[in-house]
C-alpha cells in the first residue's frame, strides 16, 4: 500500500526558503487510488501560504477527505509530492493538528485528559502543559467541564474539546474534516467564530473541508472546489477580516456564496 | 404503581415464598415420596444438617477452589490468546481452526481422557473448567479489540502513538466493556464446568456429592446441594458484576 512516488526528474529540488514567499503546504501533482477503485484524487496542485485559512468544498465522495488525509500524512500519494515548510511529508506528527468529522473523544477520560492526550502520549504532562490545556478550555468556554466526562457534554461542547485537543501542541498546520457538520446552525456559528479566533491568534495555517457553502465563505481566505478527484475552481474570498456574524447577511458575503454555488453546479454538470 | 428496583426485589422474593409454599402443600397433599420430590422443609433440614455438622463444607471448598483456579487459568489464557490473535492476523489465521475444533468437541467428552492424563481428582476438573472459560473470554477479547472505531485509530496514528500505546491506551480501554461481558459468561460457565467435571472425575466437591446422594437415594441432600450450587453461582456472579462496575466506573459514573 505504501507506494512512494519517484519524483519526475529533479525539477523540484528543495525550494529556497528565502526570497519569494514559500508556500507553507505545497501539494504538487498529487494522485491517489485506493486498491481496486477508480482514482480518488487526480493530479491535484494546491498551495497554502503561512497563516492562511483555506476551505475545500465539494459534494460527498468527491475525494476531499482523502486529500485532507494525504495532507496529514495518514495516506501517501501514488504520484506527486506533499511538502510541509519545504520538507517532504512522510508521516503524521505533532506539527499537524487534525479534527475529525466526529469528536472522537476517549469516553473513559475526563475532558482535560482528552485535551492532554497528544501530550500524554509523549510524556506525562507537566503543570505548565496542564495549565495550557485549562487555558484552552477557558477560551472555548469549557472551564467548568474540565473534570467531566465527554458523555456529559453536548455535541457542540464535544466538538470544542476535539478542537482544544488538536490545538494543545500548537500545531503549525490545522486540518479539519467537516468538524461541525453534525451541529445545529447556531452552535456551528459559534464554533466557526471560536475557530477563526484561535487560528488568527496563533497564525495557524488551516485546511478546512466542508460541504457547506456558507461555512466555506465565512471561514476561508480561499476556497477550492473539488469534483471527482480534481480541484476545478480556486476562489479568493474578498470579505473583510475579522469576520463577524453580521457579515453573513451582507451583499459581499452572499455574492461569494452565489459564486461558489455556481462553481459547484458547473463542476458537477 | 411504579416499578422501582426495591418493589421488583420484594415481588421476586414473594414469588419465591409462594412457590415454596405451594410446593410444600402439594407434596403433603399428594403424598409424593421424598425420594422423588422432597418437600422444601425436608430440603432445608438436610441443608441445615449438612452445614451445621460440617459435612458440606469440604465439598463446597473443593468446588470453589476448582472453580477459582479453573476460572483464573482459563480467563488468563483466553485473554492472552485473544490479545495475541487480535494483534496478529498471522496468529489468528493459524490458530483459529484449532481453537474452533477444540470448542466444538463437547468438553465432557474429553473428561475420561483428562482422567487418564491428569488423574482422578482436582487437576482434571480444573483443566476442564479452564477449557470452558477460555472460549468466551478469547472470543470477546478478539472481537472487542478489533472493533475499535477506525477514526480513533487514525487519531492515534496522527498523534504518533506506538503500537504498544495504541493497544494499552486505546484498544484495551475501548474494548474493556466487551471483554468484561465475556468474563461474565465465563464465570457462569465455569460453575457448570466444575460441577459437571466432578460428576465424572472427582470424589470430592458438590458435583461428586450429587452423584453420591443419587447412589444413596438421598434426594433431599441432592436438592440441598443444588441450593448450595445456586447460591455459589449467584454470589460469584454478583462479585463479577461489582468488579465490572468498579472497572467501568469512568465509563458510567456522573460526578
Contact assignment for A152 to B158 by CB distance below 8 Å = no
> Do the beta carbons of residue B176 and residue B147 sit within 8 Å?
no
pLDDT at A6: 41
Gap from A267 CA to chain B (nearest CA, Å): 30
Nearest CB neighbour to B173, from listed A96, A102, A108 = A108
Residue B82's nearest CA partner among B180, B10, B1, B152 is B180
Query: Which residues fall within 8 angstroms of residue A259, CB to CB, at 6 or more apart?
Result: A235
State how far the Cα of A148 lies from the Cα of A113, in Å rounded to an integer. Answer: 10
Query: Mean per-residue pLDDT for B148-155?
Result: 91
Contact assignment for B151 to A94 by CB distance below 8 Å = no
- Locate the domains of chain B by residue range: 57-247
> Do the beta carbons of residue A145 and residue A137 sit within 8 Å?
yes
- Which one is the CATH code of B57-247: 1.10.3720.10, 3.20.20.70, 1.10.540.10, 3.40.50.300? 1.10.3720.10
pLDDT at B65: 94
Q: Which residue of A has its CA nearest to B175?
A: A108
- Locate the domains of chain A by residue range: 96-170
> Do the beta carbons of residue A14 and residue A85 sit within 8 Å?
no
At A143-191, the pLDDT tens digits run 899 999 999 998 889 998 999 999 898 898 999 999 888 888 888 898 8
pLDDT band at A39 (very low <50, low <70, confident <90, very high): confident
* Total-model pTM: 0.81
State how far the Cα of A195 lies from the Cα of A159, in Å rounded to an integer. Answer: 11
Contact assignment for B160 to A104 by CB distance below 8 Å = no
Contact assignment for A98 to B155 by CB distance below 8 Å = yes
- Look up cell 468529522; give the residue: A101
Q: How far apart are the first and last CA of chain B?
A: 31
pLDDT at B210: 93
pLDDT band at B255 (very low <50, low <70, confident <90, very high): low
At A47-58, the pLDDT tens digits run 998 889 999 998
pLDDT band at A61 (very low <50, low <70, confident <90, very high): confident
Phi–psi pair at B41, nearest 5 degrees: -65, -40
State how far the Cα of A230 lies from the Cα of A54, in Å rounded to an integer. Answer: 16
Return the sign of the alpha-carbon dihedral for residues A167, A168, A173, A176.
negative
- CB-based burial, A169-192: b 16+ in 10 Å, e otherwise: bebbbbbbbbbbeebeeebbbbbb
State how far the Cα of A171 lies from the Cα of A202, in Å rounded to an integer. Answer: 9
Gap from A69 CA to chain B (nearest CA, Å): 10
> Collapsing DSSP states into helix, strand and coil, what is residue A97?
strand
How many residues are there in chain A? 269
Angle of CA points B174, A72, A83, to nearest 5°: 160
At A67-116, the pLDDT tens digits run 999 998 888 999 989 998 888 888 887 788 999 988 899 999 999 999 99
> Do the beta carbons of residue A39 and residue A95 sit within 8 Å?
no
> Collapsing DSSP states into helix, strand and coil, what is residue B23?
helix
Residue A96's nearest CA partner among A5, A195, A175 is A175
With residue B70 as reference, give the H or E element that holds it: helix B57-87
pLDDT band at A22 (very low <50, low <70, confident <90, very high): low
> Collapsing DSSP states into helix, strand and coil, what is residue B126?
helix
Q: Which three cell numbers stand for residue B174?
A: 475501548
- Look up cell 422443609; give the residue: B41
Contact assignment for A117 to B159 by CB distance below 8 Å = yes
What's the whole-number average pLDDT of chain A? 85
Contact assignment for B250 to A121 by CB distance below 8 Å = no
- Annotate A212-260 with three-state secondary structure: CHHHHHHHCCEEEEEECCEEEEEEECCCCCCCCHHHHHCHHHHHHHHHH
The residues of A whose Cβ lies within 8 A of any Cβ of B are 69, 72, 74, 91-94, 96, 98, 100-102, 104, 106-110, 117-118, 121-122, 147-149, 152
In DSSP terms, A41 is beta-bridged to: A32
At B72-131, the pLDDT tens digits run 999 999 999 999 999 988 998 898 888 888 888 888 888 888 889 998 888 999 999 999
How many residues are there in chain B? 255
Phi–psi pair at A139, nearest 5 degrees: -60, -30
Residue B254 in this model has a pLDDT that exceeds 80: no
Amino acid at each position: 500500500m505504501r507506494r512512494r512516488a519517484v519524483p519526475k526528474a529533479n525539477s523540484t529540488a528543495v525550494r529556497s526558503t528565502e526570497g519569494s514567499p514559500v508556500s507553507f503546504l505545497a501539494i504538487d501533482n498529487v494522485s491517489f487510488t485506493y486498491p481496486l477503485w477508480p482514482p480518488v484524487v487526480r493530479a491535484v496542485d494546491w498551495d497554502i501560504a503561512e497563516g492562511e485559512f483555506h476551505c475545500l468544498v465539494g459534494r460527498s465522495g468527491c475525494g476531499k477527505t482523502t486529500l485532507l488525509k494525504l495532507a496529514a500524512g495518514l495516506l501517501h500519494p501514488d504520484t506527486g509530492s506533499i511538502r510541509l515548510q519545504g520538507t517532504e511529508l512522510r508521516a503524521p506528527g505533532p506539527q499537524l493538528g487534525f479534527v475529525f468529522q466526529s469528536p472522537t473523544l476517549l469516553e473513559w477520560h475526563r475532558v482535560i485528559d482528552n485535551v492532554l492526550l497528544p501530550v500524554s502520549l509523549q510524556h506525562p504532562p507537566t503543570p505548565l502543559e496542564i495549565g495550557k490545556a485549562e487555558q484552552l478550555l477557558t477560551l472555548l468556554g469549557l472551564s467548568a467541564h474540565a473534570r467531566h466526562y465527554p458523555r456529559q457534554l453536548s455535541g457542540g461542547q464535544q466538538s470544542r474539546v476535539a478542537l482544544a485537543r488538536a490545538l494543545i501542541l500548537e500545531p503549525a498546520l490545522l486540518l479539519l474534516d467537516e468538524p461541525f457538520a453534525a451541529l445545529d446552525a447556531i452552535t456551528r456559528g459559534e464554533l466557526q467564530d471560536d475557530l477563526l479566533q484561535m487560528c488568527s491568534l496563533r497564525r495557524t495555517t488551516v485546511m478546512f473541508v466542508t460541504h457547506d457553502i456558507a461555512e466555506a465563505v465565512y471561514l476561508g481566505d480561499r476556497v477550492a472546489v473539488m469534483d471527482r478527484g480534481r480541484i476545478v475552481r480556486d476562489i479568493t474570498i474578498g470579505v473583510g477580516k475579522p469576520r463577524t456574524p453580521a457579515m453573513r447577511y451582507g451583499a459581499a458575503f452572499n455574492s461569494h456564496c452565489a459564486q461558489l454555488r455556481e462553481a459547484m453546479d458547473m463542476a458537477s454538470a | 404503581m411504579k416499578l422501582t428496583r426495591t418493589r421488583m426485589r420484594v415481588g421476586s422474593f414473594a414469588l419465591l415464598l409462594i412457590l415454596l409454599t405451594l410446593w410444600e402443600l402439594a407434596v403433603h397433599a399428594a403424598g409424593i415420596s421424598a425420594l422423588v420430590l422432597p418437600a422444601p422443609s425436608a430440603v432445608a433440614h438436610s441443608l441445615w444438617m449438612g452445614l451445621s455438622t460440617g459435612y458440606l463444607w469440604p465439598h463446597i471448598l473443593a468446588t470453589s477452589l476448582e472453580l477459582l483456579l479453573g476460572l483464573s487459568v482459563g480467563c488468563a489464557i483466553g485473554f492472552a490468546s485473544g490479545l495475541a490473535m487480535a494483534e496478529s492476523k498471522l496468529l489468528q489465521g493459524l490458530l483459529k481452526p484449532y481453537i474452533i475444533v477444540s470448542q466444538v468437541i463437547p468438553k465432557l467428552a474429553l473428561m475420561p481422557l483428562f482422567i487418564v492424563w491428569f488423574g482422578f481428582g482436582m487437576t482434571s476438573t480444573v483443566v476442564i473448567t479452564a477449557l470452558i472459560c477460555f472460549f468466551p473470554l478469547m472470543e470477546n477479547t478478539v472481537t472487542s479489540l478489533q472493533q475499535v472505531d477506525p477514526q480513533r485509530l487514525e487519531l492515534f496514528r496522527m498523534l504518533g502513538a506506538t503500537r504498544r500505546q495504541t493497544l494499552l491506551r486505546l484498544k484495551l480501554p475501548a474494548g474493556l466493556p466487551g471483554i468484561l461481558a465475556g468474563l461474565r459468561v465465563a464465570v457462569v460457565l465455569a460453575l457448570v464446568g466444575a460441577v459437571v467435571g466432578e460428576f465424572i472425575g472427582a470424589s470430592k466437591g458438590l458435583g461428586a456429592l450429587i452423584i453420591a446422594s443419587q447412589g444413596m437415594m438421598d434426594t433431599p441432600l441432592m436438592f440441598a446441594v443444588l441450593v448450595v450450587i445456586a447460591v455459589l453461582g449467584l454470589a460469584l456472579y454478583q462479585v463479577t458484576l461489582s468488579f465490572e462496575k468498579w472497572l467501568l466506573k469512568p465509563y458510567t459514573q456522573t460526578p
